[in-house]
């Protein structure tokens, strides 16, 4: 399953229709009939997302949202409010209560699923950083001092300068941080010379239709703005804008004309999560330093990988999600050292690590396990996802030789991979220990080596 979603709606027909839409994307669903049942289920189930009807009995959707956000156990669960009688007042009430988004019925299935994917990605990234913090704490690293949280910087990109200045005048009294206006080219060219905004509000259409969406892709590709909040204003309500914008990296899409109160309410929620995630990311790096990093490749080392696997298994036990572990070994690496020397061998290891890391999700773990071996942990990944990922990584290493510029060499390298998958669910038996996982992946790796190398093999006998 792609994730677990709690549907809170008093009308059986609404719940069934929504369940069917979500089932097409392989989401697992649970249902609640009123606010009290939804809150109790969320505490027990810890879903990846709650979808709640605005008129839910027991206080309404906004009330349930506020109660979920008030409890430590449920505060980080994204909440989507849907409304059969939408209004500006209801939308603002939901957003101010902490809802992550608000949709009007009838629901467009493509847009709904795109929004669900976006909310799931944000939740997964936050949870993964929190898990890494917990891992560091379990290894004895002290919590760093909490840094002063500065006001968030917001960039406005509109079709004309006059429009952008109008947005700034309207948002100014509602936002605590500085507001700046940018043209499209300034957003791409000038940010390197100044501190990048924490958030952007961008019109979907700038000098040409869809320019704003193309800008989203560019901002996501640059390190200074990769983690920025991006809100798209879709004044034209163009078909396909919502799913396209969300799938290329926008955090939210606001249809219709510019509404400063709605934009401010959305930014408040999105920026709070963004700054919290930034703090987790920064403090995690401070806590680890070089102690849990491999000095050659800069990847996590074996000690950290073992502790991380233990935390991942614990999280899987709580959420009933699958996970996978890979052991990867560069084929005939001794011959590289023997033929070209250890300096070239080191360069090959560093580049191999970079290639692998560039083709993993942010929530995945990549560590150097020792020598020419790497270990990869894939949370929330079943057999199919692990198979696709392993084959992609095998090709990434083997499809092109590794250039060692300092020696004028191109070194052909392949990699063998062993994969162990825990499917989740009661039928899967007891959860394995980190040692068991590594042993299973190592046995599969041995099968790949024995069968000719440059292969992917799975614990249990499946090979690719």
Catalytic residue annotation: 372
* Residue that has been written with the tokens 């401010």 in this structure: 264
CA distance 251 to 33: 29
CA 361 vs. chain centroid, Å, equals 7
454: number of CA atoms within 13 Å, CB side? 9
**180 bridge partner residues:** 155
Q: Per DSSP, which regions of 214-310 are E strands?
A: 229-234, 252-255
* CA 187 to chain CA centroid, nearest Å: 24
For 230, phi then psi, to 5°, come to -130, 120
| DSSP codes joined into one string, 396-407 | HHHSSPEEEGGG
Quote the CA–CA distance of 221 and 230 in Å, as a whole number. 13
3-state SS record for 301-362: CHHHHHHHHHHHHHHHHHHCCCEEEEEEEECCHHHHHHHHCHHHHHHHHHHHHHHHHHCCCC
Give which of 455, 427, 437, 405 is closest to 320, Cα–Cα.
Answer: 427
**Helix H or strand E segment including 200:** strand 199-203
Give burial (CB, 10 Å; 0-12/13-18/19+) of 145. Answer: exposed
Alpha-carbon span 246 to 252, nearest angstrom: 7
Tokens read off for 459: 């614990």
């Amino acid at each position: 399953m792609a994730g677990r979603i709690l549907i809170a709606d008093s009308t059986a027909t609404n719940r069934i229709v929504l369940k069917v839409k979500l089932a097409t994307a392989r989401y697992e669903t649970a249902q609640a009939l009123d606010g009290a049942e939804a809150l109790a289920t969320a505490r027990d189930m810890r879903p990846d997302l709650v979808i709640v009807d605005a008129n839910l009995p027991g206080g309404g959707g906004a009330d349930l949202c506020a109660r979920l956000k008030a409890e430590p156990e449920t505060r980080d669960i994204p909440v989507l409010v849907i409304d059969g009688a939408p209004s500006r007042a209801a939308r603002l009430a939901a957003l101010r209560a902490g809802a992550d988004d608000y949709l009007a019925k009838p629901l467009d299935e493509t847009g709904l699923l795109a929004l669900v994917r976006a909310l799931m990605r944000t939740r997964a990234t936050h949870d993964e950083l929190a898990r890494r913090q917990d891992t560091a704490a379990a290894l004895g690293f002290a919590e760093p001092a909490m840094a002063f949280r500065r006001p968030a910087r917001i960039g406005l990109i509109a079709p004309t300068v006059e429009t952008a200045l109008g947005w700034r005048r309207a948002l100014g009294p509602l936002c605590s941080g500085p507001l700046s206006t940018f043209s499209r080219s300034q957003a791409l060219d000038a940010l390197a010379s100044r501190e990048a905004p924490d958030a952007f509000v961008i019109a979907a259409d700038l000098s040409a239709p869809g320019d704003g969406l193309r800008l989203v892709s560019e901002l996501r590709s640059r390190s200074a703005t990769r983690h920025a909040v991006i809100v798209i204003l879709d004044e034209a309500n163009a078909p396909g804008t919502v799913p396209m914008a969300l799938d290329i990296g926008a955090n939210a899409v606001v249809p219709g004309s510019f509404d400063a109160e709605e934009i401010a309410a959305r930014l408040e929620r999105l920026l709070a999560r963004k700054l919290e995630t930034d703090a987790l990311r920064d403090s995690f790096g401070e806590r680890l330093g070089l102690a849990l990093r491999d000095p050659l490749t800069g990847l996590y080392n074996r000690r950290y990988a073992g502790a991380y696997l233990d935390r991942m298994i614990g999280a899987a036990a709580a959420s009933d999600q699958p996970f996978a572990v890979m052991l990867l070994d560069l084929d005939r690496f001794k011959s590289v050292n023997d033929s070209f020397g250890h300096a070239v061998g080191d360069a090959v290891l560093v580049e191999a690590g970079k290639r692998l890391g560039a083709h993993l999700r942010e929530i995945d773990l990549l560590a150097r396990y020792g020598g020419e071996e790497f270990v990869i942990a894939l949370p929330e990944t079943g057999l199919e996802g692990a198979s696709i990922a392993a084959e992609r990584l095998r090709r990434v290493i083997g499809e092109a030789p590794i250039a060692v510029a300092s020696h004028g060499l191109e070194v052909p390298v392949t990699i063998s991979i062993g994969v162990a998958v825990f499917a989740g669910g009661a039928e899967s038996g007891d959860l394995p220990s980190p040692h068991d996982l590594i042993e299973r992946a190592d046995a599969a790796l041995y099968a790949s080596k024995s069968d000719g190398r440059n292969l992917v093999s799975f614990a249990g006998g499946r090979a690719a």
